[in-house]
Structure 1
Amino acid sequence: MLRLAGASLAGTAIEFYDFFVYGTAAALVLGPLFFPTFSPVAGTLAAFGTFGVGFVARPLGSVLFGHIGDRHGRRPVLVASLLLTGGATVAVGCVPTYDAIGLTAPALLLLLRFLQGLGLGGEWGGAVLLTAEHAPAERRGLWSSFPQIGPAVGFLLANGVMLALSATLSDAQFASWGWRVPFWAAGVLAVAGLWLRSSLAESPAFLDIDVPARLPLAEVLRGHWRLVLLTAGALSAGYAVFYTVTTWSLSYATERLGVDRTVMLMCIMAAVVVKGALTPLVAVLGDRFGRRPLCLIGSAACVVWMFPLIGLLATGEPALMFLGFLVAMLAFITMFAVIAAYLPELYEPRVRCTGAAVGYNLGGVLGGALTPVVATAVAQGERVPWGVAAYLTGVALLSLGCFALLPETRPVRMAAATKGRAEGETEATVG
């Protein structure tokens, strides 16, 4: 389990590195380079628009790779998704700017971002299921949390490289070629990820399926459509909070408040470090007390914290901004640490790869794709963008309501019928 969980964590970190490095570049540099005829705000909106395309592609990737995962196994998904995402990321670093090839430049950027999202849409389902379906029921939350640490590691890698380049290069050097280096590095990481995943065994739950689903998506839509919509709505707040902190706030603080980009990156990265470190600890609580209670607590915390978050961000003071980011990340991880165990447990094994991944990635469209664009548009002309706080609070209320309608799935211990029989405990999976 440790080797399997480690390989899943590493591969997921690499895939999310590819995805996050684009978000950081969109916040810092892609607008002027690929949309120079736009105003600064419009250029940022356009850059975040290409960023959002990756989220739109993720549900399509979950359908494509979910079909492969439910028909042919979870393991092939991990290899194919890593190749696609890694190749597209390296290609982004090679795209000439608008000044060199005109409108072809943003068009290529859009296409490659779509391919990135397509690959990542398959990655999460394959990595999580391979770990969750190998894990013992009573520790499924803990072991499944390892792939959930991957996004934090990927984010830190992406922003660490950006931070190093930002600190050592002049603005002209960074805009000329420095921003491309993190994209080129994705090729090396993809090769390392393929090597780590080459020896993983197939999931026992998949091997136990007698007749794989012929059309997994059709079965999910026919028998689990309500569950897919509820999980998408439930996860939207986590995505909205995460990308508000890691992407939109970076653009807002550097462009509107004049905060140094190195300071902003350090504040955000410090909060993400805490989030990543606490992920397995929160997952253990999920094994002990259940998945649903933690998700309800996390989404309720998001409802309460969005206005303080925006107020602290608007101060431009590093310590106060870090406090806002830290609490937001704690609320986020209270939900998302247990999601890797929760979503697979909601679906039967024959359609699990498709159902869990589609719900997870539709939540990304609702929360991750829209939030930077909406927040940038709403924040125009406001020193303290309370409209952004209101929007985020609304998304958090949606998530809270959806989690309230979902069942608990944690394996529970049932007492023995005969008092005093120490061996008379069995495990039953609910949901």
Structure 2
Amino acid sequence: MSTATSPQQAKLRKRSAIKAYIASLSGTSLEYYDFAIYSVASALVFPKIFFPGNDEFVGLLLSFSTFAVGYLARPLGGVIFGRLGDRLGRKHVLVVTLLLIGAATILIGVLPDYNAIGPAAPAILVLLRLAQGIGVGGEWGGAVLLSSEFGDPNKRGFWSSAAQIGPPAGNLMANGVLAILAASLSNEAFLSWGWRVAFLASALLVVFGLVIRLKLEETPVFKALVENNERSEAPLREVFRNEPRALIAAALSRISPDVIYSMFTVYVAVYATKELGMSTGNVLTAILVGSGVQIFIIPTAGALTDRFNRRLLYGIAAAGSAIYIPLFFIMIQDRSVVTLTLGVVGGLVFNGLMYGPQAAFITEQFPARLRYAGSSLAYTLAGVLGGAIAPLIFTGLYAATGTWYLIAVYLAVCAVITIVGVSLGRDPKPEEDLRLIHDVSA
């Protein structure tokens, strides 16, 4: 069997890998733009316009509950689209998830508030948030496989990081738009209609993302699975029956970065404004800067784990995040904008050091024929235990104690869980993908 690749073939494959990297990055950026504007709005806007008549704390909890619905819906998206991705291919599923999230976000932008249609407003909001979550649940696994399966399997940490840049890039765009609106409008105008502009703007982004994705071919790995007749007939059943350790390891690895991200992009807005008396603009600026730094940290971290042991570096970052949290709360007590910004940047750097190699670690736990279903299930199930309930837990712990100490303990426990996950996982096996591709090309 010949495994040689001609210079022309190598050049064409690299060009395809770059296109897939851009498509994965742009697609998840657009989708996490949609998701991020909901995250910020759930902390700053929705308690006032969709849950009025409650005291401030109850309104905030109700709003964060709708935020959590998006996470709770992700496993359903992982089940539906994970199976389809392993049966029908990566590309087609990614087009559907983009349309689903985009449509839900646009409809949220035109949804009448509680004063206009009463209880129907929060009820519809929950349904639209459910649709967003289902779409994101199917999006992540496909976006990761799109870039990693076109790229060099020996450099999966870097190529897989394309989808991981999506959240900070989307967060950067979302917070940038919201910061501009908040700075240029009065508080009354922002709450009345300004926030809707950010949601409706996603229509243009969805069109742009569709154009890119529709031009892509299917990944070489999936093509090889089809040609070799190695696709699974029941990928979900096989994952649960044959890959339980992989599923557990992959899911646990996600807990700490997910909770850290919720801390520094969602709850920090509540803590800084309500407890420290800082302005919304100050918080949005801090998140904006932190997201900008993450765009560079994430691919760098992914590439580093291609050179050094991925699991070891991942675990070190998780341990470092647990140590950092108490330092963050202590340093921001001076209520300085500079200190808050540096603190948020530091937290998002620790998140990026885990988030960069996360996609590679999760997907490489599963064989190629079960990769979409397995990685989607692990990613979405962990989201329920991580990011879904994190803002609620942060809010409840602070309300019960009046201090941040238990929040720090909670984040330390999450770090330990992630360390256990990466310890249970396996190291990369790039030869699996190389065998598939070479068997077809030989």
TM range (shorter): over 0.9
Deviates more, 1:219-228 or 1:88-97: 219-228
* Match 1:48 to one of 51, 61, 64: 64
CA distance in structure 2 between the aligned counterparts of 1:336 and 1:258, rounded to whole angstroms:
31
**What residue number does 2:128 align with?**
112
Match of 2:163 in 1: 147
CA-to-aligned-CA distance 1:296-324 (integer Å, 9 cap, x gap): 11111112112112223444222222232
Return the letter of the residue paired with 1:219.
Answer: E
Structure 1: where are the runs of 5+ without partners?
413-431
What does residue range 350-429 of structure 1 map to in structure 2 within 5 Å?
A: 350-380=369-399, 384-409=403-428, 411=430
What do you get for the CA RMSD once the two structures are aligned?
1.6
Tell me, yes or no, if the aligned pair for 1:124 and 1:357 is still in contact at 8 Å.
Answer: yes
Deviation, 1:382, is 5.4
1:335 correspondence with 2:324: no
Task: Give the gaps of 5 or more residues in structure 2.
Answer: 1-16, 432-442
Mapped partners of 1:285, 1:208: distance in 2:
29
Residue 256 of structure 1: how far off its partner (Å): 2.5
- Alignment match of 2:255 (pick from 219, 236, 254): 236
SS of the equivalent of 1:177 reads helix
Note if contact 2:322-2:408 (Cα within 8 Å) is conserved in structure 1.
no
Which has more helix, going by share of residues?
Answer: 2
Which residue of 2 is the match for residue 422 of structure 1? none
Moved more, 204-213 or 90-99: 204-213
Q: Give the TM-score normalised by structure 1.
A: 0.93
Q: Aligned-pair distance for 1:372?
A: 0.4
Return the offset for 1:237: 0.5
Q: Contact 1:291–1:339 (CA<8 Å) still a contact in 2?
A: no
Residue pairs, 1:26-425, within 5 angstroms = 26-209=42-225, 210-380=229-399, 384-409=403-428, 411=430
Cα separation, 1, equivalents of 2:341 and 2:334: 11
Aligned residue in 1 for 2:3: none
1:411: how far off?
4.6
Tell me if 1:11 matches 2:27.
Answer: yes
Deviations, residues 200-220 of structure 1 (Å, cap 9, x unaligned): 110111111214222211111
Deviation of the 1:32 alpha carbon = 1.2
Check conservation: 1:310, 1:388, Cα contact below 8 A: no
Q: Look up the SS of the partner of 2:45 in the other structure.
A: helix
Return the letter of the residue paired with 2:303. Answer: V
Q: Deviations over 1:92-120 (max 9, x none)?
A: 11111111111111100100001001001
Shift of 1:140: 2.1
Report SS of the residue matched to 1:133. Answer: helix
Secondary structure of the residue that 2:44 maps to in structure 1? helix
Give the deviation of 1:341 after TM superposition: 1.7
Q: Secondary structure at the match of 1:337?
A: helix
Give the TM-score normalised by the residue count of structure 2: 0.90
Q: CA deviation at 1:383?
A: 5.5
Q: Partner of 1:368: helix, strand, or coil?
A: coil
